[in-house]
Chains A and B, each alone.
Chain A
Amino acid sequence: MKTFQQTQAAFAARIRDPRAHPVPAGIPEKRMAVYETLFFNNLEDLLSSNFPVLHEVLAERWLELVRAFLRHHRCQTPLFAEIPREFIQFLHEHAESLELPPFSEELAHYEWAEMGLAAAREDLESLRALQGVSVEGDVMKGVPVLSPLAWVLSYQWPVHEISVDYQPETALEQPVWLLVWRDGNLKVQFAWINETVVWLLQHLQTGKHSGQALVQQLAAHLQREDLATLQTFTRSLLEDYLQRDVLLGVRT
Chain B
Amino acid sequence: MTLRHPEGAGLGFRRALVGPLDAWLDQHASLPVDFFEIAPENWLGMGGRFAADLRRYTERFPFVAHGLSLSLGGFEPLDEPFLHRVRRFLDEHGIAVYSEHLSYCSDTGHLYDLMPIPFTEEAVAHVTERILRTQEIVGRPLAIENVSFYAMPEGEMSELEFLLEVLQQADCQLLLDVNNIHVNAVNHGYDAESFLQAIPAERICYGHIAGHYQQEEDLIIDTHGATVIDPVWQLQQQAFEQHGVYPVLLERDFNFPPLEELLQEVAHIARLQAAPPSSARSGTAG
Interface residues of A (CB under 8 A from B): 1-5, 7-9, 11-13, 15-16, 24-28, 31-32, 34-35, 38-39, 42-43, 46, 73-83, 117-123, 182, 186
Pair A8/B107 contact, Cβ less than 8 Å: yes
Smallest beta-carbon distance B155→chain A, Å: 7
CB of B113 closer than 8 Å to a CB of A: yes
Pair A182/B112 contact, Cβ less than 8 Å: no
CB of B150 closer than 8 Å to a CB of A: yes
Given contacts A79-B41, A118-B50, A119-B46, contact A4 B107 (CB under 8 A): no
Smallest beta-carbon distance B271→chain A, Å: 33
Smallest beta-carbon distance A117→chain B, Å: 8
CB of B22 closer than 8 Å to a CB of A: no
CB of B132 closer than 8 Å to a CB of A: no
Task: Name 16 A/B residue pairs within 8 A (Cβ), A-sorted.
Answer: A4-B153, A8-B104, A11-B115, A12-B115, A16-B107, A74-B110, A75-B109, A78-B41, A78-B69, A79-B42, A80-B41, A82-B45, A119-B46, A123-B47, A182-B48, A186-B48
B83's closest neighbor in chain A, by CB? A78
**Looking at the complex, which of B116-124, B133-141, B278-286 is the stretch in contact with chain A?**
B116-124
What's the Cα separation between A81 and B75 when bound, in Å? 24
Quick one: which of A4, A38, A82 contacts B120, CB cutoff 8 A?
Answer: A4
Smallest beta-carbon distance B276→chain A, Å: 41
Q: Assign chain B's interface to a size class.
A: 35 or more
Smallest beta-carbon distance B208→chain A, Å: 19
Number of A-B contacts (CB under 8 A): 124
A74's closest neighbor in chain B, by CB? B109
Pair A118/B75 contact, Cβ less than 8 Å: no
Quick one: which of A34, A78, A182 contacts B70, CB cutoff 8 A?
Answer: A78
Pair B75/A9 contact, Cβ less than 8 Å: yes
Interface residues of B (CB under 8 A from A): 39, 41-42, 44-52, 68-70, 73-75, 79, 82, 104, 106-113, 115-118, 120, 122-123, 126, 150-155, 219, 221
User: Inside 8 A of B107's CB, which chain A residues have their CB?
Assistant: 8-9, 12-13, 16, 74
Quick one: which of B42, B110, B117 contacts A75, CB cutoff 8 A?
Answer: B110
What's the Cα separation between A29 and B155 when bound, in Å? 18
User: Inside 8 A of A31's CB, which chain B residues have their CB?
Assistant: 150-151, 219
What's the Cα separation between A16 and B219 when bound, in Å? 22
User: Inside 8 A of A15's CB, which chain B residues have their CB?
Assistant: 111, 115
Interface of chain B, main secondary structure: loop
User: Inside 8 A of A78's CB, which chain B residues have their CB?
Assistant: 41, 68-70, 79, 82, 110
Pair B45/A122 contact, Cβ less than 8 Å: no
Pair B49/A79 contact, Cβ less than 8 Å: no
Pair B154/A25 contact, Cβ less than 8 Å: yes
What's the Cα separation between A228 and B118 when bound, in Å? 76
User: Inside 8 A of A74's CB, which chain B residues have their CB?
Assistant: 107-110
Given contacts A8-B117, A39-B111, A80-B112, contact A118 B49 (CB under 8 A): yes
Smallest beta-carbon distance A52→chain B, Å: 17
Pair B118/A8 contact, Cβ less than 8 Å: yes
Smallest beta-carbon distance A167→chain B, Å: 30
- What 10 pairs between A and B have smallest CB-CB spacing? A74-B109, A78-B69, A31-B151, A12-B107, A121-B47, A186-B49, A5-B75, A4-B118, A26-B154, A34-B150
What's the Cα separation between A31 and B149 when bound, in Å? 10
Pair A2/B48 contact, Cβ less than 8 Å: no
Quick one: which of A8, A43, A121 contacts B112, CB cutoff 8 A?
Answer: A43
Pair B113/A38 contact, Cβ less than 8 Å: yes
B86's closest neighbor in chain A, by CB? A78
User: Inside 8 A of B113's CB, which chain A residues have their CB?
Assistant: 38-39, 42
Pair B151/A4 contact, Cβ less than 8 Å: no
Smallest beta-carbon distance B39→chain A, Å: 8
Pair A8/B150 contact, Cβ less than 8 Å: no
Pair A42/B112 contact, Cβ less than 8 Å: yes
